[in-house]
Chain A
Amino acid sequence: MSTTPVLALRGICKRFGAVRALTDVELEIHAGEVVALVGDNGAGKSTLVKVITGVGPADEGVIEWNGRPVRISRPHDAQSLGIAGVYQDLALCETLDVVGNVFLGHELCKGGVLDEVAMERRTRQLELMDTLSIRIPSVRVPVASLSAGQRQTVAISRALLSEPKVLILDEPTAALGVEQTAHFLDLIDRLRERGIGVLLISHNLGDVKAVADQVAVLRLGRNNGFFDVLTTSQEQIVSSITGATDNAVTHRRTWAWEAML
C-alpha cells in the first residue's frame, strides 16, 4: 500500500538486562488492514505489544503515528493516540463487575458522579455482549466469577469501547470455543470495514489465514519476513516462524536447487 500507515514502528529495540528481546523491529499497520504478527514462543510478540501500548516502552527506535513520530512512554499516551489493546493476560480487575471493567479508565460521569445506569445500558448494548457472552448471568457480577471466554469478551469489549484507530489483540482466540472464535473472526472483519487497523497476534495460523491481510513474522526478536496472506502458503509462514530457513526468498531458492537435483 502506498498510503501512510496509521502506525509504523522503525528500528524498535528493547532490552531486559542483558537479554535483547527486540532488535530493529519494523512494522506497519494501515487503516482498515489486519496485520497478523506471528512467531514462536519467546519471539518477542508480547514485548512488541507492550511497546506499542506503552506498558513497556521501547529503548530505541521510532514510532510513527500517521507519518509523524510520537512518543509512547506510558499507557495513557497510547490511549490518547487511539491505540487500544487486549492483552494475553487480559488485565481485568477481578473484584469489579463487568460494567466496571468495561468502563475502567473511561467512566461515564454526570455532574461528577458515576452514571452507573448509562454505563450498564451501554454495556448491555455492546455487540459482543450479544454474540459472545450468553452465559454472563448479569453484567453486575464480578469478573472473578466469569469463565475464561467470558473474561475475554469483557476485555475485548473494553478495548472497543474507546473506538480506537488501531486495535492490538494479543492471542484473542486462545480462550474461546469454536463458535465464539467464529463470531470473533467475523467481528474482526467488521472492524476492518470500519477502517480500524488491527494487529492480531496469534499462534493459530488458521485464524491468521482467515482474517489477516498481511503477516509479519518475528523470530528471536527480529523481523523474519512479511507476507501477503493470499499469496503465501501456510508452510512458508511456518518455516519462517521456526527458522527452517532464514526467509521466504532463500526458501524458494532451496526449492529450486532441490528441483535441479
Chain B
Amino acid sequence: MSTPEASDPDPTKVTAERRRNEPVREPQGRLGEFTRRLRGGELGSLPGVLCTAVIWTVFQILDHQFLSPRNLSNLSVDLVGTGLIAVGIIFVLLLGEIDLSVGSVSGLTAAVFAVLNINDGLPEWVAIVAALLVGAAIGGLQGFFFARVGVPSFVVTLAGLLAWNGLMLHVLGASGTINLHDQGLVYALTNQYFHNTAAAYGLAALGVVMFFLASYQDRRRRRAAEVPYRPLGELALRSAVVAVVAFGAAYVLNQFEGLPLALLIFLVLVVGLDFVQRRTKYGRRICSIGGGAEATRRAGINVARVRVSVFAISGTLAALGGLFLASRVDSVGQTSGSSILMINSVAAAVIGGASLFGGRGRPWSALLGILVIQSIASGMLLMGIQTTVQYMITGGVLLAAVVLDSLSRRSQQAHGLA
C-alpha cells in the first residue's frame, strides 16, 4: 500500500493540508458514509426496523385488530418488563459476555418483593429497594466469579439460572403463588395511564425538541472546532423522522388510555443509559473492554471492576424488569422468571443490533428488539396461535439475527483486510 505514496508524495501533503485547513464536510457526504457503513458490516438498527415493519404488515393483513390502538397500547406496556431485562443484557453483551441468569434473577427478586411486602407486611418501597438490591448483589456476585475468579460468564450465569430459580421456589414457599395488592406502587407500574392527552403529546414534543437541540448544539460545537458536522438539512430530516415516530406513537396511545407509566419509565431509563454508554468514561470503558479487554487493561483501566459493575447493572435491571412483569400479572408464582424470559431478552438484544461478539450495541437496541419479539407474541395471541408455534418463530428470528451479526462481523473483517 506504500507504492502510490512512495511514487508521488505530493498528494499526501495536499490531502493532509486540506484536512487540516478546511475539514468542513466529509468528502463523500452522509449518504456515502451510510453505504460505507453498510458495506463495512455496521448494520445497526436497520434489520430491527425492517423486521418490525414486516411483522406489523403481515399481522395487520392477517388480523385487522393488530394495529388497533388498544393492541398497540397493550403491546407498549407488555414489552417493558422484558425490555428492561434486555437493556441489562445489552450492557453485558457490550462487554462481550453473556448473562443467562437474568430470567431467574427477575423471578427471585419479584418473589423477594412479594414475600417482604405481602407476607411480612413491610412498606412497599422498602420491599422494592430490597428487591433491587438483591438483584444488584446477585449480579455483582456473578460478576465477581467471572471477573476475579476467572470462570467463564456463560458457566457462572448458567449455574445462576438454576440456583436462583431454586431459591425463588424456596422463597415462595408452600403456597407457590403470592397475589399482589391491587393498589400501590408496583400495581401502578403497568396499570397507571396518563389519561390527559397532553401527557403523551408533551412527551413527544419534549423528546423531539431535546433531540433537535442536542443535535444542533453538537453541530455548532463541531463547526466551531472545525471537525466534520452534519448539514442542517440532514439535522432537520432526522428530527422530522423522530417527530413522526414520537407523535405517531403519542396519537395511537391517546386513542386508547393515554401514555402508560410503564412506557414512560422505560423510555427515561433507555435515554439515561444510552447517555451513560455513549457519553461517559464508564460507558466508553464498557465498550472498549468488549472490543479488546487486553488493550483496555494495558491502557491502565481496572477491567475487573468494570466487569463486576456491569453484571451488577444487569442484575438490577433484571430485578426491575421482574417487578414490571409481576405487576402485569398482579402476582408472583412458580412460573415467574422462566427461562423463556431470558431467551426473549437475549433475543431482543441481538435482534435490536447488539453484537454477541462484544463492543457493539446501544440501549435503544433493546427497545427495537423487544418490539419485534413482543409484536410476534402479541400477533400470535391475537390470532389464537399456540405458544409452540410462537416459540419456533421467535427462535427462527433469533437465529436470523445471530446469523446477520456473524455475517456482518465477517464482512467487517474482510473490509479490514482489503
Contact = CB atoms under 8 A, between A and B. Distances in A.
A89 B136 CA distance: 36
B299 A96 contact: no
A81 to B, nearest CB: 11
Interface in B264-304: 278-281, 284, 287-288, 290-292, 294-301
Contacts of A125: 20
A180 B2 contact: yes
Contacts, number: 136
B2 A176 contact: yes
Interface in A141-184: 141-147, 149, 176-180
Contact of B297 (A75, A109, A117): A75
B412 to A, nearest CB: 5
A113 interface: yes
Contacts of A91: 292, 294-295, 298-299
A53 interface: yes
A100 interface: yes
Contact of A94 (B228, B292, B297): B292
Contact of B301 (A101, A105, A118, A135): A105
B236 interface: no
A121 B226 contact: yes
Given A117-B218, A117-B221, A144-B413, A95 B291 contact: yes
A120 B16 contact: no
A79 B300 CA distance: 7
Interface string A87-125: 100111111100011001111010011101110110011
B358 A95 contact: yes
A175 to B, nearest CB: 10
Interface in A180-197: 180
Contact of B228 (A93, A138, A179): A138
Interface string B376-418: 0000000000000000000000000000000000001101110
B412 A144 contact: yes
Contacts of B294: 91
Interface in B2-22: 2-3, 5-6, 9, 11-12, 15-16, 19-20
A114 B287 contact: no
Contact of A177 (B6, B9, B228): B6
B220 to A, nearest CB: 10
B300 A105 contact: yes
B292 A92 contact: yes
Nearest to A135: B1
A205 interface: no
Contacts of B297: 55, 75
A232 B227 CA distance: 49
Contact of A95 (B2, B218, B227, B360): B360
A53 B358 CA distance: 26
Contacts of A112: 280
A121 B229 CA distance: 12
B372 to A, nearest CB: 23
A178 B15 CA distance: 19
B284 A100 contact: yes
B80 to A, nearest CB: 28
6 contacts: A95-B359, A107-B284, A129-B16, A130-B19, A134-B12, A143-B291
